Structure 1
Amino acid sequence: MTLLVVHLALTAAYAGFQWTVRALVYPQFAQVPPDAFPAYERAHQRRVSRVVGPLFAGQGVTTLWLLAARPAGTPLLPVLAGGACLAVVLAVTALLAVPLHRQLGGGWDPVAHRRLCRVDTVRALAATAGTAAVAWAVLATSG
């Protein structure tokens, strides 16, 4: 049960982080003066990596651990659903968000910014669904 609770804490922390980025951080990008934006974006990338890196690593480890050694009474379906949600978040990050951040690192681009906000909504929704899946696993295991 401890593994499930740790996993829930990691997924919830990441979902909260992602919604904060989507609702607060990314909308503010448009208010940075264009001549200052490349430096701002590079600083954003460095700083956000310090938060998201450990959350991704922790979720990856606990997801694999749950898949390899589910606690007794933990149903497989929410573990698989949570793993699928994490896979979506990681794929969208690597294939869409990171390239858009690189593009923005070269200078302000309102089209790239709008695309990043849409991509980030997908990440936030997938992270929320992943948290719900883990909560389901915790409730099913404890009840």
Structure 2
Amino acid sequence: MPTTPEALLLGATALHAGFQLTVTTLVYPRLADTPAADWRRVHERHGRTITPLVAVVYAAVLAACGWALADPGPAVVAAASACGLALGTTAARAAPLHGRLADRPDPRLLARLLAVDRVRAVAAVAAVPAALAAAVG
């Protein structure tokens, strides 16, 4: 049975949502609770360990969105838009905040990072039902 672009989009959005919810509910709260004395070491380890996973998940999302958008319906556009919001928020807000937090935990910047992360989580989760509608539609 051949894989459709919409089925791939559904799988990629589900993978992304699961990843993002794990980051939002488990990874970032633990990172935010890191004592200042341990911050640099823990933050560097976080970056080293999560970057390859981000690359794989985001590549899957981009590939799926690209394939599905070759012949899009409204549900594909909605799913891809939600994915775009999540990935764009990472590039425009989360990554720069991580850069500013590299040396020390600034409570204001950490609060911003957690808020930005919640936007990514909502967007990633919102993509799933849209992708499901595309896959069954």
Partner residue of 1:89 out of 65, 72, 86: 86
The answer on 1:128 being equivalent to 2:125 is yes
8 Å contact from structure 1 (residues 41, 105) kept in 2: yes
The CA distance in 1 between the partners of 2:49 and 2:26, in whole Å, is: 15
The answer on 1:44 being equivalent to 2:38 is no
8 Å contact from structure 1 (residues 39, 105) kept in 2: no
- Structure 1 residues 58, 30: CA separation in 2 closer, same or farther (over 3 Å shift)? closer
The answer on 1:13 being equivalent to 2:15 is yes
1:1-143 counterparts in 2 under 5 A? 2-3=3-4, 4-69=6-71, 76-140=73-137
> Cα deviation per residue 1:76-128 (whole Å; 9 max; x = unaligned)?
00111111111111211011000111111121111111111110000000001
Q: Which amino acid aligns with 1:139?
A: V
> Cα deviation per residue 1:46-98 (whole Å; 9 max; x = unaligned)?
2111111111111111111111146xxxxx00111111111111211011000
TM-score by length of 1: 0.88
Q: Which amino acid aligns with 2:83?
A: L
The CA distance in 2 between the partners of 1:121 and 1:61, in whole Å, is: 24
The CA distance in 2 between the partners of 1:131 and 1:14, in whole Å, is: 9
The CA distance in 2 between the partners of 1:79 and 1:30, in whole Å, is: 35
- Segment drifting more, 30-39 vs 122-131: 30-39
- Total equivalences in the alignment: 135
Identity of aligned residues (%): 35
